[in-house]
């Protein structure tokens, strides 16, 4: 059996952690990054206890440390020998109204979700071009479709990420590099459990299975799950501001 390798940023919790388990079950070797190395080491041990044939490399990484991104991916590449898929997944959410919540919170969301993602994609592309192939996957959000009240910075970060990845796809269309952008709705993770409303929420294991299926199909873009978000997403972009303001 030929094992493929996936590197997942933001793998210590949420969809990143669930996807690490899902891809291990499917026979993928894993490169896992997050800010908390001790959590990654524990996750590595847990996965290897169930899937001993899976090669797992871990690296502490804050994607806002742009120089460290390149070094961490290079180290994982050396340990794993190959990176077939890079999932750009690290992200944060801080809710609040603009001008009321601290400016630093808004900027932190942009810095992690967009600037950190750009740094990760840039470093990943350099590796993929060296090895002659690769698959870039980014975790965007339904929030990318429309700026949402109380989450303006988060919406902006995900809209920017989606547009950035579309640009990367256009730049690499003649190379052996695939580009996928996934737009999840509400998946039951710590990042959204404090929200008053989470319509159509799905559990994180189901979300990971859908992610994995879409990644393996190398889709260009998709919502997670497809229904109802493939309908609701575009609708959000068309609703009057007076309606959006009530959300």
Q: Which CATH number fits domain 5-244: 3.40.50.720, 3.40.50.300, 1.20.1300.10, 3.40.50.2020?
A: 3.40.50.720
| φ, ψ dihedrals at 33, nearest 5° | -130, 150
**Helix (H/G/I), strand (E/B), else coil: 36:** coil
pTM: 0.95
Beta strands in 91-216 (DSSP E): 134-139, 177-184
pLDDT tens digits, 60-104? 999 999 999 999 999 999 999 999 999 999 999 999 999 999 999
Q: How far is CA 170 from CA 1, 107, 119, 165, in A?
A: 33, 28, 18, 9
> Which active-site residues does the annotation give?
154
pLDDT tens per residue across all 247 residues of the chain: 567 999 999 999 999 999 999 999 999 999 999 999 999 999 999 999 999 999 999 999 999 999 999 999 999 999 999 999 999 999 999 999 999 999 999 999 999 999 999 999 999 999 999 999 999 999 999 999 999 999 999 999 999 999 999 999 999 999 999 999 999 999 988 777 777 678 888 999 999 999 999 999 999 999 999 999 999 999 999 999 998 898 8
């Amino acid at each position: 059996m030929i094992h493929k390798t996936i590197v997942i940023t933001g793998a210590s919790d949420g969809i990143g952690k669930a996807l690490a388990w899902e891809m291990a079950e499917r026979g993928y070797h894993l490169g896992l990054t997050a800010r908390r190395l001790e959590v990654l080491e524990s996750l590595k041990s847990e996965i290897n206890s169930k899937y001993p044939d899976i090669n797992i490399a871990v690296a502490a990484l804050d994607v806002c440390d742009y120089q460290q991104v390149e070094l961490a991916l290079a180290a994982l590449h050396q340990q794993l020998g190959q990176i077939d898929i890079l999932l750009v997944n690290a992200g944060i959410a801080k809710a609040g109204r603009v001008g009321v919540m601290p400016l630093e919170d808004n900027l932190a969301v942009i810095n992690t979700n967009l600037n950190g993602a750009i740094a990760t994609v840039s470093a990943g592309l350099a590796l993929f071009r060296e090895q002659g192939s690769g698959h870039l996957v980014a975790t965007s959000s339904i929030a990318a479709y429309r700026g949402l009240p109380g989450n303006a910075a988060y919406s902006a970060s995900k809209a920017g990420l989606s547009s950035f990845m579309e640009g990367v796809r256009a730049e690499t269309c003649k190379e052996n590099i695939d580009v996928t952008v996934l737009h999840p709705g509400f998946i039951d993770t710590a990042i959204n459990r404090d929200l008053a409303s989470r319509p159509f929420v799905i559990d994180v294991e189901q979300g990971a299975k859908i992610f994995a299926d879409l990644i393996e199909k190398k889709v260009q873009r998709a919502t997670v799950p497809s229904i109802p978000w493939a309908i609701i997403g575009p609708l959000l972009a068309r609703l009057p501001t007076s309606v959006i303001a009530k959300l």
